[in-house]
């Protein structure tokens, strides 16, 4: 990668990885609840619904946390979501997911809590040694039994929302990411969350040759970003965000 581009990416990461980044980002929700268990639950729920327009999904995440009275771990663990998201209720909650779909999502999450203690417990139980292992573990749990939920079932796709969740949970010493799983997964193995904005900026830089949102592309981009941030490649997520904001 060109030295000037590398330097610009480093400068942009420094500029945008700040508490100000949280204001309009779904990562803000994990900072609004108290305790590690609630932070993990808020992060997972927020990341799972972070698709489409921010003006649409941010209120939906806020709605769930309000229903949970800012205690999402208890709300899911004790099945309190059943009061608001009932099986067979086909009323749309967000985009193409109904309230019944959300019930299945929360029910699967509840089963993970009961069987493994938490999502972190699932990562330990499945002996995940890398972010890719964790992506596979989480996606497989939400496909067994098969159900409609915001969690991608095919880990050959980019799995952007799971990769973003893992960034939040693994990266430490950050004003944005909370690092609760820093002891479970090495941040060197984290995978770039690949959305349309990231793909566009990466193609402009010549780091990706097509717009296919696949795990293969995400891994290729991550590998390229190790040339800039060798110990923390997904710090480039902030840099590519900044590249778009600053006009390239």
* DSSP code, position 175: S
Q: Is 230 helix (H, G, I), strand (E, B) or coil?
A: coil
What average pLDDT does the segment 232-242 reach? Answer: 94
Compute CA distances 151 → 69, 233, 246, whole Å.
Answer: 24, 24, 32
Maximum distance among all alpha carbons in the chain? 56
Q: Give the pLDDT confidence of 24-75 residue by residue, as tens digits.
A: 999 999 999 999 999 999 999 999 999 999 999 999 999 999 999 999 999 9
Give percent of the chain above pLDDT 70: 97
Tell me the average pLDDT of the chain.
93
What does the alpha-carbon distance between residue 228 and residue 226 come to, in Å, rounded to a whole number? 5
């Amino acid at each position: 990668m060109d030295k000037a581009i590398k330097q610009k990416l480093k400068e942009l990461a420094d500029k945008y990885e700040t508490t100000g980044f949280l204001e309009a980002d779904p990562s803000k929700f994990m900072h609004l609840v108290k305790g590690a268990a609630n932070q993990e639950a808020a992060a997972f729920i927020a990341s799972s619904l972070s698709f489409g327009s921010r003006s649409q999904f941010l209120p939906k995440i806020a709605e769930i946390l309000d229903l949970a009275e800012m205690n999402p771990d208890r709300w899911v663990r004790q099945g309190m979501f059943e009061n608001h998201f009932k099986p067979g209720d086909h009323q749309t909650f967000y985009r193409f997911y109904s309230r019944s779909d959300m019930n299945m999502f929360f029910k699967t999450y509840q089963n993970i809590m009961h069987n493994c203690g938490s999502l972190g417990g699932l990562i330990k139980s499945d002996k995940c040694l890398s972010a890719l292992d964790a992506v596979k573990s989480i996606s497989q749990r939400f496909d067994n039994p098969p159900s409609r939920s915001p969690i991608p079932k095919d880990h050959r796709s980019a799995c952007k929302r799971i990769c973003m969740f893992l960034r939040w949970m693994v990266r430490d010493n950050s004003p944005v990411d909370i690092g609760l799983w820093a002891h479970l997964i090495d941040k060197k193995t984290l995978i770039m969350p690949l959305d349309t904005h990231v793909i566009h900026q990466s193609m402009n830089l010549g780091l990706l040759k097509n717009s296919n949102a696949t795990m293969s592309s995400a891994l290729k981009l991550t590998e390229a970003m190790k040339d800039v941030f060798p110990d923390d490649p997904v710090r480039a997520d902030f840099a590519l965000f900044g590249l778009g904001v600053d006009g390239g």
